[in-house]
Structure 1
Amino acid sequence: MRRKRLLSVTALMLTASMVFTGCMSSTVKKNAEQNEPSSAPEAVAENNTSEAVSDEEGEAEEAYTDIVLWDDSTDGDANTLFQELADGFAEKYGVNVERVVIKGEDLRTTVKAAINSGEGPDIFTYDSGAGYLGVLAKSGLAYDLTAVAEQDGWNDLFKESALDACTFDGKLYGVGNQLESVGVYYNKDIFDKYGYSEPSTYEEFEAMCAELKENGELPLMLDDLDQWPGYHYESIWLNAFAGCDAVSDVLALKSQFNQDDFALGLDKMQEIVKNGWTIESPNAMGHDDARKMFLSGKVAMYPTGTWEVGAFGGEEGLGDKCGFFFLPAPEGKETTGVFGLGQAIVVNGKSANTYTAVKFLEYMFSDEIVNKWLDAGFIPATNNTDITACDVTPLFADAANTIVTADKMGSNLDVLLPSKVNEVTANNIQELLAGKKTGMECMEEKQKILDEEVEKGNFEAIAN
C-alpha cells in the first residue's frame, strides 16, 4: 500500500539499473552489512537443483531449484525479515535464493521488461489491484496459482481479502502478504497533558486541533514532498466523510468520485493547512523528516500506515507513549477504517522455476515461519498467526486490535486504481494542500481520468 508506486532486455542495462537504484543480491547485502567476506551458506547447493524430496504422504515431488527473489524491502525490519525468509528456505531445501533488493518504483517499472527478456525474478513483490497485478495477469507475466491454491488449501490458510485482491477473471495470480491500515498515530504524553482521549467524531478531532494550536503545539503532521503520503491522506479523508460503502460503489463503477461528500472530505483536509493545524508547507516536507519530528515529540498526531508500528512503538520510537486510532467520521456517521494489503507475492508467469517459487511462497506463511512476520512488526494476511506467542510492543497490540475489531473496512485507493489515475491524484493532492484546487476540482479530474482508463480497458469494476 505504501511507497509508497525501462528495463532494457540486455543484461548489461539490467545490471546498470540495479547499481543506480541500490540493488544488490542478498548475499552481497547481508555480508556487506556484517563487514564479512561474501560466502554462501553451507546448506546451499552448488548445482542449480537439489534432489527431489517427498511430501508428507511419501509421494515424490519435483526437484527444488535455485530461484531469484526481487523485493523492495530496502531497509529496516522488512529487509531483515525477507533476508531471514530467503536464507531459511535456502538452508532447508539446499538451494540458493538470490535476493535482489530494489526500490519500489524501480521494481514496478523494470519487472515487466525483465520478465519478457528472460532476465526477471522467479518470485517478486508487487502491488495488488487491477491497475498493477491485474495488468501483469492480463499480459501472462504472473503465474496462475488457482490450481495450487485449491490443491494446497490456501482458502483456509490466507485471509479472503488476501486472495480476492489478487484474483482477476476468476483466477488467482498472487497472494497478499500483510494486512495494513492507515490511521492516526498520536503522542500519549501530549494527549494526557490536555486530558484528551481518542476522538470519536471529526468535530472532536477539529476541536482538539484548535486547542492544541492555541497552546503552542503542532497538532498534526501532513507531509507530501514524496507524494505517496498524499494517496493515503486522500483515502483517509474520503472514507471518513463519504464512507466505505460510497467508496466501494465508485470502485464498482456504480457511482462517481465527483460527489459532495467526497469533495467535502478533501476540503476539510485543506482546512487543516489553512487553519495552521499542521506545518506551513506540507509539500516541502519529506516523509523521513516528518517521522523524525513526530518521534522527537514535536507533533501531537501523525496520519500514516501500520507499517510504522514497529518503528513508532519500539525503543527508538515513542514506545508505549504512542497510540493509534482511525480518523473519526463526522457526527451522525460511522467511522471507517482504511485497509489494504501491503503487497502481493507474485510468481513469474514465464519462469522455469515455478515449482520452487510456489514452495517458497508457501514457506513464507507456513506454521513454522508465519510468526516471524509478527516478530518483525507486520500482520500477515493469514489465519494461522498467534499474536499471544510473540513479543510485540503495546502499540503493535493496540493497532492489531483496532484493525481486527473494526466494524467498517474502507479501501485504500492507490493500490486499486490505474497508475494514470494515481499520477493525477499525486499532483492534485499537492495542489489541494497548497490551496490551489478545491476538493470538487480534484474529484472531477480524478473521475475524468478514471473514465478514460475504463474506456481503454485499464480498469474493471471491483465487485462490492
Structure 2
Amino acid sequence: MGMTAPARWLVAVGSLLALTACAGTGGSPGGGTQRQIAVSTAVPDEPVTLTLAYTDDPPSKALIEGFTKRHPNVTIKPQMTPFNDYVKSIKLAMSSAQPPDVAQYNPGAMSSLVPAGLVLDLGPWAKAYGWNDRFPPATLETLSSDKTAKRFGTGALYAAPGGLSVLGVFYNKSLVKKVPKTLGDFETAMQQAKDAGHAPLSVGALQVGGFQIWNALLNVLGDVKQYRSWVYGEPNATIETDGARKAAETLTGWVRKGYVPAAANATADTDAQAEFAGGKSAFLITGNWAAAALEKQMGDDVGFFLMPGPTAEPPKVASGSSVSYAISSKTQHPNVAAAFLDYLSSPEAAKVQFEAGFMPVDTKTDMGGAGLPVEIKAAFTPVAQANGIVPFADYASPGMIDKLTPGVQGLISGKMATAGFLSSLQQSWNEHHGS
C-alpha cells in the first residue's frame, strides 16, 4: 500500500510543499474547450471561500468543520437541498454562472453533468494524492465513467467518497440468540421466530425495502462479476442470470413460508424500521444508515450481520454506496476543493464519518468503543478490503428504481413471475445502454 495513511495525510494536505502534477483538465459547458489547471496538493494561506451543495443528512457539515479547523483560512458554505428536489436543483445550479464549488454526487444528476463538462475529471488529483491506495477501489469504480456517464468503472473519475454505507441484516438479540452463519441457518431462524409467534421479517416494500432483500440475496447467490458488469453498463451485460433468478425465487419462497409480512407492499421503510425497533419482528434487512436510530431505541438488543451465503464462509460481498462529492469545472479554487476531497480519506475524517453513522472511507482506522456501529464495521471491513462492495441495482439505469420497486412488489403479491421481473429490469437497461 506504500506510505501509511497518516504519513501521506501530513505530506499531502497539511504540508505547504506543493506537489505539482500534470495539468488537470476541466470540461466546459457543452463539452467545449478544456480548461487547463496546474494541479497542486498545497492549500494556500490566503482566504478562500467554497460552497458545497448536498442533500438530506450526510456527514457534510461535520466534515466541513474538520477540514476548516485544519485550514482556518478556508470557509466552506453548505447548501442543503431535500432529496426529492436535489437532482433537478443541482443540474440547474451546476449549469449556472456561479455553481457550487463542490456538489454531492448523484448518478441521476451526473448523467447530464458529465457529458456537459460541468464537473472536473479528478484523475490528476487522484494521481497526485495517491487516491487509488487510500480509497477502497470499488468506491472509485462507481464514481468513474465514460463521457456519456453510461458506463461505470471506466473513463475518468468524477467524485470521491466521503462516507460509506452497507446493506445487511439487523436482528433482535432478545429474539435471536445465535447469528446465522449460512442462508439455511437464516431461514431456520426466521422459521423459529414464526413458530414463537413473532414476525420473522419487517419489510417496507412500499419503497425500497423489498428490492433491498432481493439485492442482498443476489449478492450471495449470484456471480459478482456478472452483476458488476450489468450495473456498470458493460456491452451485452444481462441481469437475466441464474443468480438473479435464484434470488427472486428465494424471496418468493420466503413469501410462501410466511416470512414476509402480508402487508409488506403497503408498508413504508420507516414503518418497517419502527416495527422492528418495537420488538415485533426478528430481522430487518436495510443499510447502516438505520443503525443510529435502532441503537437509540433498542440499546444492546440490536445486532448486525451481512446476508450469509449457502456456505459458512464469511461473506466477501455486500451492496453499498457512498456519500460522494464532485468538483465544479467552473470553480476558481480546484486545488482547495480537491484538498477537501482528499481529507475525506484521512483518519481524522474517518472518525467524523463513523460518528455520523457512516462507515469510514479509511477502513483501517481503529474506531474503538463498542456497540452497533463497531459491529457493523467489523462485518463491513473485510468486504471493503477485499474490494467486495457492489453498487445497488438502481445504478444500472436512470429508470431502474421504477422497475425494481413495483417488480419486487409483484413478486411478493404473486402477480409477477421471476422471468417477467428480470425481463423488465433488462428492458430498462437496454433502453438506457442502447442494446
Partner of 1:175: 160
Q: What is the one-letter code of the residue matched to 1:372?
A: V
**1:335, 1:397 → 2: CA distance?**
17
Q: What is the one-letter code of the residue matched to 1:167?
A: S
Structure 1 residue 71 corresponds to structure 2 residue 49: no
Q: Give the 3 Å change call, closer, same or farther, for CA 205–156 of structure 1 in structure 2.
A: closer
CA-to-aligned-CA distance 1:2-39 (integer Å, 9 cap, x gap): xxxxxxxxxxxxxxxxxxxxxxxxxxxxxxxxxxxxxx
The aligned runs of 1:85-124 (5 Å cut-off) are: 85-90=63-68, 92-124=71-103
Decide whether the 8 Å contact of 1:132 with 1:415 is kept in 2: no
Partner of 2:372: 395
Structure 1 residue 156 corresponds to structure 2 residue 133: yes
CA-to-aligned-CA distance 1:341-376 (integer Å, 9 cap, x gap): 223211122333433322332334444443222233
**1:205, 1:368 → 2: CA distance?**
37
Structure 1 residue 431 corresponds to structure 2 residue 410: yes
- Report how far residue 442 of structure 1 moved: 0.5
CA-to-aligned-CA distance 1:183-222 (integer Å, 9 cap, x gap): 1110111013xxxx22233233222222321221111111
Structure 1 residue 330 corresponds to structure 2 residue 310: yes
Q: What is the one-letter code of the residue matched to 2:241?
A: Q
**2:202, 2:98 → 1: CA distance?**
42
Partner of 2:218: 238
Q: What is the one-letter code of the residue matched to 1:116?
A: S
1:371 is paired with a residue whose SS is: helix
Q: Give the 3 Å change call, closer, same or farther, for CA 365–331 of structure 1 in structure 2.
A: closer
Structure 1 residue 213 corresponds to structure 2 residue 173: no
Partner of 2:328: 348
Q: What is the one-letter code of the residue matched to 1:171?
A: A
The aligned runs of 1:269-418 (5 Å cut-off) are: 269-313=251-295, 316-330=296-310, 335=315, 337-382=317-362, 385-388=365-368, 391=369, 393-406=370-383, 409=388, 411-414=390-393, 416-418=395-397
Q: Give the 3 Å change call, closer, same or farther, for CA 154–409 of structure 1 in structure 2.
A: closer
Q: What is the one-letter code of the residue matched to 1:440?
A: A
Q: What is the one-letter code of the residue matched to 2:172?
A: N
1:93 is paired with a residue whose SS is: coil
**2:345, 2:43 → 1: CA distance?**
23
Number of residue pairs aligned between Structure 1 and Structure 2: 387
Choose from 6, 11, 17 the match for 1:57: 17
Structure 1 residue 145 corresponds to structure 2 residue 122: yes
- Report how far residue 415 of structure 1 moved: 5.2
Q: What is the one-letter code of the residue matched to 1:154?
A: W
TM-score by length of 2: 0.79
Q: What is the one-letter code of the residue matched to 1:290?
A: A
CA-to-aligned-CA distance 1:27-69 (integer Å, 9 cap, x gap): xxxxxxxxxxxxxxxxxxxxxxxxxx99533888374432221
The worse-fitting range, judged by mean Cα deviation, of 154-163 and 55-64 is 55-64
1:405 is paired with a residue whose SS is: helix
- Report how far residue 380 of structure 1 moved: 2.0
CA-to-aligned-CA distance 1:106-131 (integer Å, 9 cap, x gap): 21222112211235322121235xx6
Decide whether the 8 Å contact of 2:399 with 2:428 is kept in 1: yes
Structure 1 residue 199 corresponds to structure 2 residue 180: yes
Decide whether the 8 Å contact of 1:260 with 1:440 is kept in 2: no
Partner of 2:152: none
Q: Give the 3 Å change call, closer, same or farther, for CA 265–277 of structure 1 in structure 2.
A: same
Alignment gaps of 5+ in structure 2: 1-12, 19-41, 147-154
1:66 is paired with a residue whose SS is: strand
Partner of 1:11: none
**1:408, 1:162 → 2: CA distance?**
9
Q: Give the 3 Å change call, closer, same or farther, for CA 261–435 of structure 1 in structure 2.
A: same
CA-to-aligned-CA distance 1:296-323 (integer Å, 9 cap, x gap): 211100000122233323xx23233222
**1:357, 1:207 → 2: CA distance?**
51
CA-to-aligned-CA distance 1:204-245 (integer Å, 9 cap, x gap): 3222222321221111111122x2333422311222322424
1:318 is paired with a residue whose SS is: helix
Q: Give the 3 Å change call, closer, same or farther, for CA 155–329 of structure 1 in structure 2.
A: closer
Q: What is the one-letter code of the residue matched to 1:430?
A: Q
Q: What is the one-letter code of the residue matched to 2:218?
A: L
- Report how far residue 256 of structure 1 moved: 1.9
Q: What is the one-letter code of the residue matched to 1:340?
A: G
CA-to-aligned-CA distance 1:405-462 (integer Å, 9 cap, x gap): 3478362333531112232222212222222112221101111221221118xxxxxx
- Choose between structure 1 and 2: higher strand proportion: 2
2:104 is paired with a residue whose SS is: strand
**1:301, 1:109 → 2: CA distance?**
36
**1:187, 1:268 → 2: CA distance?**
22
TM-score by length of 1: 0.75
Q: Give the 3 Å change call, closer, same or farther, for CA 432–336 of structure 1 in structure 2.
A: farther
- Report how far residue 132 of structure 1 moved: 5.5
Q: Give the 3 Å change call, closer, same or farther, for CA 119–57 of structure 1 in structure 2.
A: closer
Choose from 425, 431, 435 the match for 1:452: 431
**2:223, 2:287 → 1: CA distance?**
19
